[in-house]
Structure 1
Amino acid sequence: MQQVQSVILDIDGTLIDSNDAHAKAWVRALERNDIHVPFEQVRPLIGMGGDKVLPEVAGTEKESEKGKRISSMRKQIFLHDYVPHLRAFPKTRELLQHLREQRLRLAIATSAEPDELQTLLRVIDTQASKYFEEQTSSQDASQSKPDPDIINATLQRSGFDPAHTLMFGDTAYDIEAAGKAGIKTIAFRCGGWSDKDLQGAIAIYNDPANLLAHFDTSPLKQGF
């Protein structure tokens, strides 16, 4: 039985209710480039970065001229039209505070771009950065989830021991990426994925509030 010493957290769909907003921003950016892809096709891809989404829905690479144009539009749409309306899931701030009170070390690992990450953190709390020792984002990895690059970068920068670290995520991509880096995952349903999709996790909770309510019986307290 391993005791938890540190936690690596995803943010979109895990701490903040933003997955639908990301998908809508992609759909609108694609439409502005005469690529018509339904929301239902894009939504299951959220959790991966643009390096994975663009080849799938637009047949182009993120670093191509077309890919850069679409990515830039998506980002502008997301930040301008959707971020002002985003909310953290219930008890997110309280969960982060409790984790720190339990002397657990925390880090963020996300496919979001660095400035998007800072904006998202402010949705949780204007001082949310204080909870995290490290923040890794798309600029820190050549490949986004489900490749393990971002998780590995977080481990390297933080010095977390994988054997005593858990991942918080909401998608199968989080679970796969963490697994490739030697880390087990606690999954949340609030990102919109089914229990079947999340079956690789060691525990599944509805949302941060649900985990906080059952903290003492969770792997965070009991070990794994």
Structure 2
Amino acid sequence: MSRLRLVIFDVDGTLIDSQTHIIGAMRRAFDSAGRICPDDERIRSIVGLSLPEAMAELDPDCDPHALAEAYRASFVAVREAGQEDVLSPLYPGARAALDLLSQDAACLLGVATGKSRRGLTRVFEAHSLGDYFITSQVADDHPSKPHPSMIEAALRETGAAPEDTVIVGDTSFDMDMGRAAGVRRIGVSWGYHPAERLRGAGAEHVLPGFGDLAAALDEIWSER
């Protein structure tokens, strides 16, 4: 009988390209709060953190909870001005990779994201993704990444062992979370943190495209 395997995906910057949506919402949030908005590169650097932690990083003198609320309101306004699947499209190859992995009965899929449950549900609905994932961990229920709580909950829910689990993400926060939870780590080069930062945080592979995911997973599984 095959051992159970678990692949946990980050969402923003890994499965979906939400940069336009996030940056637009962040600018509106800072403007509405009368604060100076950081530049785009600085905003991209905090994607993956839960909102209060992200705001404290961007503006240490702000009220992070008030600014987080302003961002939530602005995010909804930006979203309602367009369509979720247009503002935050899937990265090329993402669905094909999920389809391939879901064909393996011994491979379970999960999500660990800094999004709220409401935000993740909207992404799932916009892209018809919900059926792929057996476990989904969100910022509402856990400390911010890189705390390992999200992965630990996914392990409990699925029964997978840490050594049989891989986190796939685009930020050093994902890699640090994976190391803290004792799971394997794959970085992706198309998201918000550069490859060298991912490797420095412990990424065992950094993928140039989703087409390389299956081979990287096969290499990791063969080492068990």
TM-score by length of 2: 0.85
Q: Which residue pairs with 2:178 in the alignment?
A: 178
Kindly tell me: are residues 140 and 158 of structure 1, through their superposed partners in 2, closer, same or farther at Cα, counting changes over 3 Å?
farther
CA distance in 2, matches of 1:139, 1:92: 25
Cα deviation for residue 147 of structure 1 reads 1.9
CA contact (8 A) 1:109 1:151 kept: yes
Which amino acid is 1:106 matched to?
A: L
Tell me, in whole angstroms, the C-alpha distance in 2 between the residues paired with 1:203 and 1:16: 20
1:14 is matched with 14
Structure 2 letter corresponding to 1:98: L
Cα 1:177–1:61 change in 2 (3 A) is farther
Q: Deviation at 1:216?
A: 7.7
Uncovered stretches (5+) of structure 1, i.e. residues with no partner: none
- Report deviation, 1:185: 0.9
Change in CA separation of 1:170 and 1:91 when aligned onto 2, cut-off 3 Å: same
- Give 2:102's aligned residue: 100
* Aligned counterpart, 1:161: 161
Query: How big is each residue's C-alpha offset from its partner over 1:119-157, in whole Å with a ceiling of 9 and x where there is no partner?
Result: 212343x2x21111111111120x211222222222223
Residue type matched to 1:17 in 2?
A: D
Q: TM-score, normalised by structure 1?
A: 0.85
Partners of 1:34 and 1:197 lie apart in 2 by 32
| Helix, strand or coil at the partner of 1:72 | helix
Matches within 5 A, 1:1-224: 5-37=5-37, 38-58=39-59, 59-63=61-65, 66-81=66-81, 83-85=84-86, 86-103=88-105, 104-124=107-127, 126=128, 128-141=129-142, 143-199=143-199, 200-212=202-214, 214=215, 218-220=219-221, 222-223=222-223
Q: Per-residue CA shift, 1:24-77, capped at 9, x if unaligned? A: 3212211111111222322211111112111122334544xx235323323314
Question: What SS does structure 2 have at the residue aligned with 1:196?
Answer: helix
Letter in 2 for 1:165: T
- C-alpha change, 1:193 and 1:216, in structure 2 (3 Å) is closer
In 2, distance between residues paired with 1:35 and 1:47? 22
Secondary structure at the counterpart of residue 41 of structure 1: helix
Whole-angstrom distance in 2 between the partners of 1:81 and 1:172: 31
- Contact 2:16 2:90 (8 Å CA) reproduced: yes
Q: Distance in 1 between matches of 2:16 and 2:140?
A: 21
Change (3 A) 1:78 1:154: farther
Aligned residues: 215
Contact kept in structure 2, 1:170 and 1:188, CA below 8 Å: yes
Quick one: distance in 1 between partners of 2:55 and 2:217? 41
Determine the C-alpha separation between the residues in 2 that align with 1:216 and 1:112.
25
**CA 1:179–1:69 in 2, change beyond 3 Å: closer, same or farther?**
same
CA distance in 2, matches of 1:186, 1:4: 18
User: Using a 3 Å threshold, how does the CA distance of structure 1 residues 144 and 61 change in structure 2: closer, same or farther?
Assistant: farther
Report the residue type matching 2:145 in the other structure.
Answer: K
Amino acid at match of 2:130: S
For 1:5, give the aligned amino acid: R
Shift of residue 81, structure 1, vs aligned partner: 4.1
